[in-house]
Amino acid sequence: MDILQGWLTTSTRAPCEHYDARPSPNDISLLVIHNISLPPNQFGSDHVETFFAGKLDPTEHPFFESIYQVRVSSHLYIRRTGEVVQFVSFEDRAWHAGVSSFQGRTRCNDFSIGIELEGADNIHYTEEQYIALKQVTCQIMHAYPNISLGRIVGHADIAPGRKTDPGVAFDWTRFRQQVCLQQ
């Protein structure tokens, strides 16, 4: 697994239009872990991909009526099977963090990479997801050395009170120990 021009060589590419240029491309220094499931708490569909592409059909589920026009994206999405889908080059700014702050610095999208895990706050993540997350995290840390273990956070950490993901079901200790073994 390598990163070439901001793209993981082993990921499934699903480029979307919900991104723009980073203010400073050399300032990638934060990794943010999220979760997403569409509809909430349901897995295995292509709704996340169509949502990030701006093509979610509001008639397919009542929940979609409230979000189908939202323009968001993430760099990566890790399905419960461990498949990694990439929407935005790491060199570009994905729109995943929203109103956010890390160590006094606002607008985390400017300097972060976002990874969405197919999941929900209270549903345990799969072994395949932890394996894939460890692998991509190690590659990202290698390619972007300003990202250290102390600069890997959850969405809840940069948007407290507004976001809760990746939630209580995410095993931070396990994840950090796995990543440390690769360092």
Any idea which residues carry the catalytic annotation?
116
User: What six digits make up the tokens of 100?
Assistant: 């956010």
Is 138 in a helix, a strand, or coil? helix
Provide the b/e sequence for 58-95 (b: ≥16 CB within 10 Å). Answer: eeebeebeeebeeebbbbbbbbbeeebbbbbbbbebbb
**What are the structure tokens assigned to 151, written together?**
């600069």
The beta-strand segments (E) located in the chain are: 3-4, 7-8, 12-13, 19-21, 30-36, 76-78, 84-86, 92-94, 101-102, 105-106, 112-118, 152-154
